[in-house]
């Protein structure tokens, strides 16, 4: 069997650790390098104790790596740092799967406005593939640079795109009320994410201003050819992993809830990772914990033509590192489920 | 000081225990009786260990009680059982504060449809007062029977009513995405609310069908004179106490966000328990934990005229037993904050 | 590759679901049957939603199964029911891995006293193998019936046996202060394990009377040839999975802490699943979550010759279904890590 | 009624906020000043949102305060900073209740060794009262400077002192296996206490080296006249508030479990805040949450003369600010329960 040599950049963060975990279970990937700016030189098990006893490459700086022997890089870096790093190794490696926000938005002006800094590698934006896997397979095959979607866009777009591209849902009236576990904030020593400040309570944040909203508008334009501004309110919940997008939508005149259900059933019927639940079944984040799965439920609301589409994922897996692996499988033309077969770890 | 003798019916449930806790700290209430159908004869500290060492009346059945010596009854019973019980003691006690759903809806047909059983005491529906305290003070003074609002209606109406009665918010476009802690489900041995099935995850439930939705329509009609059907999706979160209502609304033409903020500031400026937070401050349920307070934030969303009003309460306190006490204070014409001065227990 | 046909009895419980999850990822096992007395006829994804989309055999009663085609049965039944069921299919299947308590104690009198019912299949007690894998490999190879240890004995014995069999630890002075996540209580609608009764707090239970204590005495006798009565206090913690055994021990005269560390390092140096952490590193249950790993730390305490050995496992994996799979791997003489390679799912 | 003017130093920490919360509910205390080095000038509700809407004095630096008008200072500062600050205002205020570790140990050499810095105000050590209230009432009356015990010593000594001073328990064999909620770590932006690193898991820490151990030895010497070195292992649990001390002890020859229970019942029979539970009842931290109560259970273990005494408190209340208020009540000769009547907030 041909193995591909993989590297994880930014292995000291949560998405990095999740990428490492998944690569170790992938039958065609060999983990050859890991970087972590601030933790270079440490044993990985000292950074993430769950890897105690595993044979792993050393944590290095970027410069210490031998990038010519790497086939695929999973870049788990903060935006800004990601584009700079990727530019340095772009010509040395075969494929780059970027988990940051740096290559998601195709319009560099929108990027600059959204992320508060200019984009320095605009040329890449023309060739990169936006890896919402289920909707981007054709473009992914053989791609050089893949921009993995944000966790909220992944969760929300899987819920909304079939309804939008089919014209069943009104693009002008989309309200996404989403909720995330705390790992979505990354591995940081921040008071706002301390246990005592985050447990046993809930809150909204970044109402109307979250950076993932323009990305969702773009995905709706690109995949469903509709122009819109989604209304988007994220929340922080006292759970580790897990994300739920509760999408409040309006059916277009003439469209029925059963039309909607039928179309989603067709769209996702052959998918391994996206499941339309039976009528009445409510998605729960805990059922996809630690897995690359997404579960979707469709419900009518109390006013005519109103509906609610609920989608759940694990923000670190399907919302990040799992989809990254899935994307690389698609780049290679492999079975997309390689390394991702695990069902949710429940309870 | 004149003391009133209080009884708690259904003291073995969570709202009952919260009522007992608050009555013990109330300077003008003396707890004289507690009933608990299934636990009669047990020491209360064996039902709720947090009361160990407290001098408390015995747990009895309804029939064992001497109701003539009781001034006020806090009925913390399930709907159905509540109306039957209240009918039995109605003439014996001065005031009845009902925490169940039995007297919330004024239309007995709507009650029957919503709760799946006929209403057997329709006459009470004409005289009872719906105790959303901040909006019902005039009616509460001297009332005989008070129906305390449901937890979701309390949280949501405090967020929405000022905007609706002022005509700033469009009543036809109200989406309430609400989230509750698990205590809202009551004290029951149910698999769905077991720790391992409820912790570290989130889910929606009763989408478009929750019994509190018609109650909210009625409150909007009664307090803001608007006819509407709110779109309402509740969620279950891994926390004990706490409720957050994220209300997605549309401003009417000509109304601005600052109009809205200004009107809420005026409406609640003199209130002890309802606080409009400063611009940019996001309400968190944990800040009102164990208290009768409600915190509200107002935010603009991404499309013109769209706004988000977020409200948080403790579902067992302001959402239930705390508001019940507050209502009785209002019935008596006492300072509404008696027995309720505690700020949120944070962290 | 030769595949073995596996069945899971009692698939509607948590250990059953964990067995199913692990079997699905095992390269040499094919899941052919699942039983669940009370849920027979239901789709498994309706019992455990995390299996939505998986191709799985139907849930049946025991009688509906074709046991002749099954090679190995993983029995995840309550004690009592387990022995009866196993007796029925004993001659039909090649290997039985029992996760219940029914075959752990070799003395039927002790079983009767501990579990409050007579043992009806005493003959099996003479031939069964007690599957504390790391200490029972020789006996496991080719075994017909394996009794998997309880979760507390697994966690505690991995911490204590090397010190006891080497004579470094005094067997007369063993205090095990253990803590378990709530899944250890099984999938039951019990008020004591409701979210609101179990979250955000801690408690001890079954102090001095837990059924796993005699099993630990027996393991110490069998594997370390020491007679003792361990002092054992379990606790219930607000977490799903995870178990920690804090073992307070006394070194024998002449034994030093470094002797102890050295001996554990030798004992477990070649093990895949048991890791002695470096000096000063403290085991955390979350690092082994969802995995078959055990992490152990050794510490000195404040008085001469006193030491603390801390061991963590996932109670559903190494403490139950993971070790069951590991045991079957050992029965077959396969690589013990087949199907169990995943590291802990952290965070 | 004579009111005393109170100040809280270090009001931006958790014990500071708990002190403020309790003072607001105290009938004889008026909160006149609050300091917070790093947050001076901010509104307190911006530091702790649960105080929104409360009329509170401004947050100032120490120098900005008018200490002559203050009767009692509750010092909620880190050790080191506390002694320096207290020295500055010692002569200006009537009473100082110190919640830090600075005046707990009477031996300055032991302080220096334990806290890694010299003690600069040794004279105070001779006159200060160690405020384990139930055992120090006589000394507390009229005291100038009170050192409040640490949370672990409070929880553990309430469990152990009656057994030790009566001679029923062997002082040479005391093992305290204690567990704390995360608020015990203070309000800090530290990765180790981030939600994702702390939730859904458990761990021990500071085994054999925790700073509260020498304090416990001293308390046993001072209150029970026994010389010992307790073996002490603390744990960090995924809960906000709450502490449980599981004390593994050995009865002296001739002492029985019923002697022990009887003696504790006598010792604590008249206490408001310390409750010996009935035989078989297991203390749970959640039942004392937010309150000044301590619940204690006594159990036999499996070997002759072995017993387990379990004690639970809220680490921020009885373990810190609640006991501080109780101590001031004792200093004044007031009813000790003033401001502390609330039962545990459960659930």
Q: What integer pLDDT is reported at residue A2 of this predicted model? A: 86
State the smallest CA–CA distance between residue D94 and chain C in angstroms. 38
Q: Which residues of A are catalytic?
A: 151
Give the number of other CB atoms < 10 A from CB of residue B108.
14
Cβ atoms of B99 and B75 within 8 Å: the answer is yes
Cα–Cα distance, A217 to A228 (Å, whole number): 6
pLDDT at residue B19 greater than cutoff 90: yes
pLDDT at residue A313 greater than cutoff 80: yes
Cβ atoms of D247 and D310 within 8 Å: the answer is yes
Cβ atoms of A236 and A198 within 8 Å: the answer is yes
Strand stretches in A42-200, DSSP E: 59-60, 72-75, 95-98, 129-130, 145-147, 175-180
Read off the pLDDT of residues A116-136 as tens digits, 9 standing for 90 and up: 999 999 999 999 999 999 999
Beta bridge partners of A294: A274
Cα–chain center distance at D331 = 16
Cα–Cα distance, B26 to B29 (Å, whole number): 6
User: Taking Cα atoms as reference points, which of A50, A99, A55 lies closest to residue A79?
Assistant: A99
Nearest CA in chain B to D342: B25
Cα–chain center distance at B97 = 12
pLDDT at residue A331 greater than cutoff 90: yes
pLDDT at residue D11 greater than cutoff 90: yes
Cα–Cα distance, A311 to A158 (Å, whole number): 7
Tokens of C142: 């080719």
Beta bridge partners of A199: none
State the smallest CA–CA distance between residue D286 and chain B in angstroms. 8
Half-sphere exposure of D119 (CA within 13 A, CB side): 21
Taken in order of first residue, the domains within chain A and their CATH numbers are 4-127 (3.40.50.720), 152-315 (3.30.360.10)
pTM value is 0.98
H/E stretch holding C342 reads none
Angle between helical axes of A151-165 and A257-268 (0-180°, round to 10): 120
Are residues D301 and C246, on separate chains, in Cβ contact within 8 Å?
A: no
Supply the DSSP symbol for D143: -
- What average pLDDT does the segment C246-263 reach? 97
Cβ atoms of A331 and A13 within 8 Å: the answer is no
Q: What integer pLDDT is reported at residue C5 of this predicted model? A: 98
Residues 6 or more apart from D270 whose CB is under 8 A from it?
A: none
Q: What integer pLDDT is reported at residue D180 of this predicted model? A: 98
Cβ atoms of C308 and C247 within 8 Å: the answer is yes
Tokens of D17: 């906020």
Are residues B196 and C190, on separate chains, in Cβ contact within 8 Å?
A: no
Report phi then psi at A236, rounded to 5: -110, 125
State the smallest CA–CA distance between residue B261 and chain C in angstroms. 36
Indicate if C151 belongs to the active site: yes
Cis peptide preceding D258, ω within 30 of 0: no
**Chain D contact residues (CB < 8 Å to B):** 14, 17, 21, 24-25, 48-54, 183, 199-200, 240-241, 272, 275, 277, 281, 284, 286-291, 293, 295, 316, 341-347
Say whether A249 sits in a helix, a strand or coil: strand
Q: Is the ipTM above a cut-off of 0.85?
A: yes
% residues pLDDT > 90 (chain D): 99
Mean pLDDT of chain C: 97
Cα–Cα distance, B144 to D71 (Å, whole number): 47
Q: Which residues of B are catalytic?
A: 151
Read off the pLDDT of residues C107-128 as tens digits, 9 standing for 90 and up: 999 999 999 999 999 999 999 9
Cβ atoms of C31 and C60 within 8 Å: the answer is no
- What average pLDDT does the segment C34-55 reach? 96
Are residues D193 and A195, on separate chains, in Cβ contact within 8 Å?
A: yes
Report phi then psi at C21, rounded to 5: -55, -45
pLDDT at residue B192 greater than cutoff 80: yes
Strand stretches in A116-218, DSSP E: 129-130, 145-147, 175-180, 203-204
User: Which chain A residues are Cβ-neighbours of B242 within 8 angstroms?
Assistant: 200-202
- What average pLDDT does the segment C1-19 reach? 96
Cα–Cα distance, B150 to B211 (Å, whole number): 9
Are residues B195 and C189, on separate chains, in Cβ contact within 8 Å?
A: no
User: Taking Cα atoms as reference points, which of C4, C8, C187, C186 lies closest to residue C97?
Assistant: C8
Read off the pLDDT of residues A138-182 as tens digits, 9 standing for 90 and up: 999 999 999 999 999 999 999 999 999 999 999 999 999 999 999
Read off the pLDDT of residues C45-86 as tens digits, 9 standing for 90 and up: 999 999 999 999 999 999 998 999 999 999 999 999 999 999
Q: What integer pLDDT is reported at residue D2 of this predicted model? A: 86
- What average pLDDT does the segment B78-106 reach? 98
Phi-psi region at C99: left, alpha or beta (left = phi > 0; alpha = psi -120 to 50): alpha
Q: Measured on CA atoms in the order A217, A221, A223, A229, is the torsion positive or negative? A: positive
Are residues B207 and A240, on separate chains, in Cβ contact within 8 Å?
A: no
pLDDT at residue C1 greater than cutoff 90: no
Cβ atoms of A93 and A73 within 8 Å: the answer is yes
Burial (0-12, 13-18, 19+ Cβ within 10 Å), B40? middle
Strand stretches in A3-132, DSSP E: 4-9, 29-35, 59-60, 72-75, 95-98, 129-130
Cα–Cα distance, C219 to D116 (Å, whole number): 44
Q: What is the DSSP string of C36-59?
A: -TTTTTS-HHHHSGGGTT---PPE
Cα of first residue to Cα of last residue in chain D, in angstroms, is 35
Tokens of C45: 């994804």
Read off the pLDDT of residues B269-326 as tens digits, 9 standing for 90 and up: 999 999 999 999 999 999 999 999 999 999 999 999 999 999 999 999 999 999 999 9
Report phi then psi at B306, rounded to 5: -90, 145
Among C48, C50, C343, the residue with its CB nearest the CB of A51 is C343
Among C24, C293, C345, the residue with its CB nearest the CB of A345 is C345
Tokens of D293: 């109560």
Task: Place B2 in a pLDDT band, splitting at 50, 70 and 90.
Answer: confident
Q: What is the DSSP string of D132-144?
A: -HHHHHHHHTT-S
User: Which chain D residues are Cβ-neighbours of A194 within 8 angstroms?
Assistant: 182, 187-190, 193-195
Residues 6 or more apart from B85 whose CB is under 8 A from it?
A: B9, B62, B75, B77
Among B51, B240, B272, the residue with its CB nearest the CB of D347 is B240
Give the number of other CB atoms < 10 A from CB of residue D110.
15
pLDDT at residue B133 greater than cutoff 80: yes
Q: What integer pLDDT is reported at residue D214 of this predicted model? A: 98
Cα–Cα distance, D14 to D188 (Å, whole number): 10
Cα–Cα distance, B325 to B330 (Å, whole number): 9
- What average pLDDT does the segment C312-324 reach? 98
User: Taking Cα atoms as reference points, which of D236, D242, D245 lies closest to residue D199?
Assistant: D236
Read off the pLDDT of residues D226-283 as tens digits, 9 standing for 90 and up: 999 999 999 999 999 999 999 999 999 999 999 999 999 999 999 999 999 999 999 9
- What average pLDDT does the segment A247-255 reach? 97
User: Which chain A residues are Cβ-neighbours of C340 within 8 angstroms?
Assistant: none
Task: Place C2 in a pLDDT band, splitting at 50, 70 and 90.
Answer: confident
Residues 6 or more apart from D228 whose CB is under 8 A from it?
A: D171, D172, D174, D217, D220, D221
């Amino acid at each position: 069997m041909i193995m591909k040599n993989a590297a994880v950049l930014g292995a000291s963060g949560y998405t990095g650790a999740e990428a490492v975990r998944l690569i170790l279970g992938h039958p065609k990937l060999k983990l050859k390098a890991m970087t972590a700016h601030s933790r270079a030189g440490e044993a990985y098990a000292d950074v993430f104790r769950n890897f105690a006893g595993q044979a792993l490459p050393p944590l290095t700086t970027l410069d210490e790596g031998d990038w010519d022997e790497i086939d695929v890089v999973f870049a788990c870096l903060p935006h800004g740092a990601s584009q700079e790093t990727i530019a340095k190794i772009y010509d040395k490696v075969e494929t780059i799967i970027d988990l940051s926000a740096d290559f998601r938005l195709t319009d560099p002006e929108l990027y600059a406005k959204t992320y508060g800094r200019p984009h320095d590698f605009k040329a890449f934006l023309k060739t990169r593939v936006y890896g919402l896997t289920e909707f981007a397979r054709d473009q992914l095959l053989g791609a050089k640079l893949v921009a993995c979607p944000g966790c909220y866009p992944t969760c929300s777009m899987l819920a909304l795109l079939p309804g939008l591209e089919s014209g069943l849902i009104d693009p002008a009236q989309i309200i996404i009320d989403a909720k995330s576990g705390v790992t979505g904030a990354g591995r940081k020593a921040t008071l706002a994410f301390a246990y005592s400040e985050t447990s046993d309570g809930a809150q909204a944040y970044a109402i109307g201003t979250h950076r993932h909203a323009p990305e969702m508008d773009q995905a709706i334009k690109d995949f469903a050819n509709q122009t819109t501004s989604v209304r988007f309110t994220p929340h922080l919940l006292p759970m580790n992993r897990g994300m739920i997008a509760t999408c409040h939508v309006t059916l277009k005149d003439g469209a029925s809830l059963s039309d909607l259900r039928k179309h989603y059933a067709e769209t996702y019927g052959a998918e391994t990772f996206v499941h339309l639940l039976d009528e009445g079944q409510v998605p729960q984040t805990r059922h996809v914990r630690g897995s690359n799965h997404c579960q979707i439920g469709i419900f009518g609301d109390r006013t005519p033509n109103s509906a609610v589409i609920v989608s759940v994922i694990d923000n670190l897996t399907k919302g990040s590192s799992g989809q990254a692996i899935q994307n690389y499988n698609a780049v290679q033309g492999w079975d997309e489920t390689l390394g991702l077969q695990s069902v949710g770890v429940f309870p």
